[in-house]
C-alpha cells in the first residue's frame, strides 16, 4: 500500500512539475496561445488572469503585438479585368471557372485549422443585410430573406438587454444606419464593387459607398501586410474578406473551438491565406461564435461558441445575390 501511495505521489509531483514548466517555463508557446485566445473571446477574458498576474499578461501581450498599416485602400490598384493569367496553382483555383459560374467554394486547411474560401466573381452583387428583429437574426434567416447565393456574418455587435446593436459605424444600401466617431476602422464596399479599407468615420466615407461595417484589424492594405507577432489575436474561429487587384473578392470562413476538427486560426495565418491567393486588401470581420457560412440556403460550417453549437443571432450579414 505504501509503495502504491509513493508511486501516486511521484506521478503527481511529475505532473505538477510538467504543469509549471508548460505554464511558467521559458518556452512561451502555451502562455502566448492561452492568454491571446482568452482575451479575444467575448465573455471569457477572465481566464487569462486565472493562471497569470496582470503584469504577466501585459508582458505576454507585448510579445504578441499587432502592428497594422495606417493607410487606407488605394482604389486605383483595383482594376476589373477579364484577362486570365495563372501565376500559380492558387490563382488557378480562384480564376478557373465556368463563364456562368457566379461563385465557387474552395475547402482549405492548415496547421490546426480548416475552412472555406468563397470566391465572388461579381463583388457589386455583395450587399449588407441588417437584422429586422431587435434580438438579431441568424445569417441563414437573412440569407433566406434576400434569396442569397452566399452569406457570411459581417461586423461586430453588442448585446444589451436582449437587443443586438451594431458596434461602430454601419451603412447599408448607401444609407448610414449607425455612426460612431470612435470606431473608424471601416470595411466598406463601393457600388462598383471595390473593397475599401479606411480609417474614416461614416460621415467621411465616399459618396459611392454601398455598405460599410466596423471591424478590425486590417490584414493587408494596398498589398502591405500588417505585422502580427507570435499568436497575436489568439486562435479563434474567423470570418474575413479580401480582394485581389482584378476585383475578385474572397470570403474566408475558418471553423474553431473543435468544430469540424478545427481549432481556429490566428491573424498571421489568416493573412497568409489572403496573400497566398493574391489579395491586395483584406480585413478581419466578426468571428468566434458568430462565424457562419451559408451557401444556397445550406449551413456549410459548424458555428461554435464556448456554451453551445449552432447559429448565433447577429446584427448584420454580407449577402451575395
228-252 tens-digit pLDDT: 999 999 999 999 999 999 999 999 9
Same domain (yes/no): 108, 229: yes
Q: How large is the average pLDDT for residues 106-131?
A: 97
- Count each helix (H run) and each strand (E run) in the chain, helices first: 7, 21
Of 35, 64, 93, which residue sits at a domain end? 64
pTM for this model (two decimals): 0.86
48 and 169 share a domain? no
Q: Give how many domains the chain has, as a whole number.
A: 2
Q: Whole-angstrom Cα distance, residue 105 to residue 300?
A: 10
The reply to whether 23 and 141 lie within a common domain is no
Domain co-membership, 56 together with 194: no
Q: Which residue has the higher pLDDT, 167 or 170?
A: 170
Residues 13 and 155 in one domain: no
Helix (H, G, I), strand (E, B) or coil at 69: coil
Per-residue pLDDT at 195: 98
Same-domain pairing of 172 and 282: yes
Choosing from 64, 90, 114, the residue where a domain stops is 64
For 287, the enclosing helix (H) or strand (E) is none
Cα 33 to Cα 146, 239, 271: the distances in Å are: 39, 19, 18
- In this structure, the answer to whether residues 28 and 139 fall within a common structural domain is no
Distance CA(35)–CA(50), nearest Å, equals: 10
**Same domain as 86, residue 45:** no
Q: Specify whether 99 is located in the same domain as 145.
A: yes
**% of the chain with per-residue pLDDT over 90:** 62
Give 146-166 pLDDT, tens digit per residue.
999 999 999 999 888 778 788
* More confident call, 85 vs 147: 147
- State how far the Cα of 158 lies from the Cα of 146, in Å rounded to an integer: 24
Instruction: Point out the domain boundary residue: 64, 82, 105.
Output: 64
| Burial class, 313, CB count within 10 angstroms (exposed 0-12 / middle 13-18 / buried 19+) | middle
In the prediction, which pLDDT does 306 show?
Answer: 65
Q: Which of 32-36, 40-44, 299-303 has the lowest mean pLDDT?
A: 40-44
Question: What mean pLDDT is reported for the chain?
Answer: 90
Please tell me the least confidently modeled range out of 66-70, 111-115, 258-262, 280-284. Answer: 66-70
Query: Does residue 221 sit in the same domain as residue 198?
Result: yes
Cα separation, 247 vs 259, in Å, equals: 31
Length of the chain: 321
Phi-psi region of 173 (alpha: psi -120 to 50; beta: other; left: phi over 0): left
Query: Is the pLDDT higher at 168 or at 252?
Result: 252
Note the pLDDT tens digit of each residue in 252-293.
999 999 999 999 999 999 999 999 999 999 999 999 999 999
Contact 96, 86 (CB under 8 A): yes
ω before 223 within 30° of 0 (cis)? Answer: no
Cα 193 from Cα 188, distance rounded (Å): 10
Range of the domain at 26: 2-64
Kindly state whether residues 196 and 226 are assigned to the same domain. Answer: yes
Burial state string for 58-84 with b = 16 or more CB within 10 A and e = fewer than 16: eebbeebebebbeebbebeebeeeeee
Instruction: For residues 86 and 49, state if they share a domain.
Output: no
Rounded Cα distance, 127 and 56, in Å: 43
Amino acid at each position: 500500500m505504501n509503495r502504491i501511495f509513493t508511486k501516486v505521489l511521484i506521478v503527481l509531483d511529475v505532473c505538477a512539475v510538467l504543469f509549471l514548466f508548460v505554464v511558467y517555463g521559458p518556452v512561451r508557446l502555451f502562455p502566448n496561445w492561452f492568454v491571446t485566445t482568452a482575451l479575444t473571446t467575448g465573455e471569457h477574458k477572465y481566464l487569462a488572469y486565472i493562471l497569470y498576474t496582470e503584469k504577466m499578461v501585459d508582458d505576454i501581450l507585448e510579445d504578441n503585438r499587432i502592428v497594422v498599416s495606417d493607410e487606407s485602400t488605394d482604389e486605383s490598384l483595383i482594376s476589373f479585368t477579364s484577362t486570365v493569367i495563372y501565376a500559380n496553382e492558387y490563382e488557378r483555383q480562384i480564376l478557373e471557372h465556368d463563364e456562368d459560374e457566379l461563385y465557387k467554394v474552395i475547402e482549405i486547411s492548415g496547421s490546426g485549422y480548416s475552412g472555406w474560401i468563397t470566391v465572388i466573381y461579381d463583388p457589386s452583387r455583395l450587399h449588407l443585410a441588417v437584422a429586422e428583429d431587435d434580438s438579431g437574426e441568424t445569417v441563414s434567416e437573412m440569407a433566406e430573406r434576400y434569396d442569397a447565393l452566399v452569406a457570411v456574418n459581417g461586423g461586430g455587435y453588442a448585446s444589451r438587454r436582449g437587443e443586438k446593436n451594431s458596434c461602430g459605424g454601419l451603412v447599408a444600401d448607401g444609407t448610414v444606419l449607425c455612426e460612431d466617431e470612435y470606431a473608424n476602422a471601416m470595411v466598406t464596399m463601393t457600388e462598383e464593387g471595390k473593397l475599401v479599407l479606411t480609417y474614416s468615420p461614416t460621415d467621411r466615407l465616399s459618396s459611392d459607398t454601398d455598405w460599410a461595417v466596423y471591424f478590425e484589424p486590417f490584414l493587408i492594405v494596398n498589398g502591405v501586410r500588417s505585422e502580427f507577432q507570435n499568436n497575436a489575436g489568439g486562435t479563434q474561429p474567423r470570418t474575413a474578406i479580401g480582394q485581389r487587384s482584378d476585383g475578385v473578392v474572397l470570403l474566408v470562413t475558418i471553423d474553431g473551438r473543435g468544430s469540424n476538427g478545427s481549432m481556429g486560426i490566428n491573424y498571421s495565418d489568416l493573412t497568409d491565406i489572403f496573400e497566398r491567393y493574391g489579395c491586395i486588401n483584406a480585413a478581419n470581420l466578426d468571428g468566434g461564435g458568430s462565424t457562419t457560412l451559408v451557401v444556397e440556403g445550406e449551413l456549410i460550417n459548424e458555428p461554435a461558441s464556448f456554451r453551445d453549437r449552432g447559429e448565433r443571432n447577429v446584427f448584420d450579414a454580407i449577402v451575395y445575390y
